[in-house]
Amino acid sequence: MNQNQVLQTGTTTVGIIVKDAVIMATERRVTMDHFIMHKDGKKLHQIDTHAAMTIAGLVGDAQVLVRYMSAELQLYRLQRKVNMPLEAASTLLSNILNQSKYYPYMVQLLVGGCDTAPHIYSVDAAGGSVEDIYASTGSGSPFVYGVLETQYTKDMKIDEGIDLVIKAISAAKQRDSASGGMIDVGVIDMKSGFRQVPTEEVMDRIKKLKLQV
């Protein structure tokens, strides 16, 4: 299996910028080729009070990077009494991956959060880092982009954005066999930082939007 096949296996993640906030979401299915390894895998991770990551690719590689980034961002905040800027965080992650490109971490990651403004960065296994207003990774990403291209607007409110990422992940789950299970949603806003949307609220929104679980 080549690197591109590994990176495109078994995940759907999304991050979008809305008014004064970033919203990130994933599904929970973890696969190994065509086998479902876990039904409740954690792919959305808070890495500091103002930042989060989503993971796609090899679970072990991704978890190591989440732990590393969490430690670095929290140490930066403790030492300097301010949060690490999101551009600096994405650059740090990019440098780690680029230095290992000859024995690469098989991952595709999103880093999002708020400093002086909301930011979303997509970071690939070779260390390429691209900022955008929305991004998606994993095998279900084409279906996510189909929803975002037609329904996303920059001036969306947080409530509208939560509904949109749920719609996008749900669309991927219906057509991508490697994506499934419950949807996790996190919101990072300019005032309050990171919060995880309760599962019960996500379920209520799925029912309200008349989506398949």
Which residues are catalytically annotated? Answer: 11
Q: CA 46 to CA 194: how far, in whole Å?
A: 7
Q: CA 75 to CA 14: how far, in whole Å?
A: 27
| The residue count for the chain | 213
Residue 114: alpha-carbon gap to chain centroid: 14
Q: Phi-psi bin for 122: left (phi > 0), alpha (psi -120 to 50), beta?
A: beta
Q: CA 109 to CA 93: how far, in whole Å?
A: 9
Q: CA 99 to CA 107: how far, in whole Å?
A: 14
CB neighbours of 30 closer than 8 A, spacing ≥ 6? 10, 36, 37, 38, 39, 41, 59
For the beta carbon of residue 35, count every other beta carbon within 10 angstroms. 8
What is the dihedral angle through the alpha carbons of 131, 3, 106, 199, rounded to the nearest 10 degrees?
A: 70
Question: Which residue do the tokens 């590393």 mark?
Answer: 68
Helix or strand holding residue 115 (H, E): none
